[in-house]
Structure 1
């Protein structure tokens, strides 16, 4: 299959590399010329404009967007729309709000797949978890590249109608907030409790057979190993929050109680105005670097 990829940042470049490595052809475009050149060095065919990009794709175009959620998605779709018809497929692999995805899909002549993507930069080696919404025929058509981008056939599935992929990813991120909060609170109690304990050792031990073992716990172990038992200069400041906010808003609209996710979101916001130096929030700050390579806020 030939896939066009627009957006060659950290995640988009992983998409390119995994699809090329699986033996598919890739046409790559980004506003950053250096990113395009780097993708070409990795085996993709470079494009220097949207017009050049679509001209290199077959009549039935298969396009993957990995651009920041929001205006960048709309601007890219505006540029693509004159070149698309009902036989084409566009995948939005970013963290768009599900209602925006529904509106975009309904307005676009081409089939639109909203694809929630989880796994962060670690996906370069392992592959992503992909949650896909939209027309089922389009999902089926994209399976060869989904297999390549995901961890394999078990790493992706069709969630349902348009918007459902980003809806599932939204809730996934809410769960992620709550899990990070739970690990943070547990390690805060261990740190402030009555024994002199080695946090890295605890995380490693828990990750070998314990009920609460997980990748996030592996990242806790990494954090203590690299930052120290007291997390060193990692600040009590947790960035992000859009998908968690969307999750809480949806829960309110559906009248579903999600107190753990709500509390975790509140802690994230409070970290930006308080000066408590809470260990739990400092650990969450470091965990965001672990799975997403988000910048670590440091204490001055």
Structure 2
């Protein structure tokens, strides 16, 4: 099978290689001349045979929307576009409506696996019509992990369901990472525990908390046992926010994932206005000392006495 792939970054480049290893022909396009196979989007489309299948792997939002719109002008009825980026599921409705008006199919596909997907395979969550999923199935089979199809691949439902499922997946990921991280901090804080990296490694086999994320935590601690020099500033890609927004919209209690998202926000603050207000209030009602910023930093650094 022959497929066009737009976006050859860390994920897209590895996906191109995995699809090729499965015996399919991939024509890739990227604005980086060092990795692209063709010079233009037009050249990519011209190199494919009907029905054309084009996979879009670019940042969500405007880059994806503009790419899908351009493909709508270049492709023909019967062709198929797959958005494999981290788009918000509501954007899929717009993209599908645009392409459907021109007789072009559309699928949304949440992709998980990161930089390890080339060797291990990618978890795929797809939304769209049955006939379009069937058309693209050889590519999905090439990308997913080896083994039963339903372990690593799901046709989750209608348009938007793939990205919605991936959004919830990433929200769960936030909560899992936060739980492992909190456990790490508590173990580090207790003086009787002498081998924190060893504790995490011991958990990785035979325990109920074992997971691939735990394996990655073990790897990180083997490379840097005390995480020396690692900033606590933690970004978010947007999907955790969308998950919490959907929880509110659907009245679904989600305290763990919400707390893990807010913890990331807290990591970016030089100082916490919330805790500044709490300190000021303690001073007002209880006469407790309100420390200056310098005094607070001295305590954090172990240079002052607690009051």
Using the alignment, how far apart are the partners of 2:58 and 2:237 within structure 1?
Answer: 18
- Shifted more, 151-160 versus 121-130: the winner is 151-160
Alignment of 1:119-138 (within 5 A): 119-138=113-132
Q: 1:196 aligns with which of 179, 193, 198?
A: 193
Question: SS at 2:269's partner residue?
Answer: coil
- The alpha-carbon deviation at position 86 of structure 1 amounts to 3.4
Larger Rg: 2
Choose which of 93, 96, 121 in structure 2 pairs with 1:102. Answer: 93
Distance in 2 of aligned mates of 1:84 and 1:157: 27
Aligned residue in 2 for 1:232? 228
Tell me the CA shift for residue 274 of structure 1: 4.3
Match of 1:28 in 2: 28
- Residue 180 of structure 1 is aligned with which of 177, 182, 185? 177
SS at match of 2:34: helix
Q: Is the 8 A contact 2:72 2:98 kept in 1?
A: no
CA distance in 2, matches of 1:196, 1:59: 63
CA contact (8 A) 1:147 1:155 kept: no
Which has the bigger relative contact order, CA under 8 A and spacing at least 6? 1
Q: 1:197, CA displacement in angstroms?
A: 2.4
- Is 2:83 the partner of 1:89? no
Against the structure 1 CA distance between its residues 157 and 86, is the aligned structure 2 distance closer, same or farther, given a 3 Å change threshold? farther
Alignment TM-score, normalising by the size of structure 1: 0.86
Per-residue CA deviations over 1:114-146 (Å, capped at 9, x if unaligned) read: 100011000011110000001111111111110
Aligned length: 266
Question: Are 1:115 and 2:112 an aligned pair?
Answer: no
**Which structure 2 residue ranges, 5 or more long, are not aligned?**
273-307
Residues 1:207 and 2:204 are matched in the alignment: yes
The question of 1:263 aligning with 2:254 is answered: no
* Corresponding residue SS for 1:35: coil
TM-score (norm 2): 0.84
Q: Structure 2: how far apart are the matches of 1:271 and 1:188?
A: 15
Q: Secondary structure at the match of 1:170?
A: helix
Q: Distance in 1 between matches of 2:46 and 2:89?
A: 30
Q: Partner of 1:96: helix, strand, or coil?
A: coil
Q: Distance in 2 between matches of 1:222 and 1:77?
A: 38
Cα deviation, residue 241, structure 1: 4.2
Given the alignment, which residue of 58, 67, 78 partners 1:76?
67
Give the match's secondary structure for 2:97.
Answer: helix
Let me know the Cα RMSD of the aligned residues. Answer: 1.3
Query: Cα distance, 1:275 vs. partner?
Result: 5.7
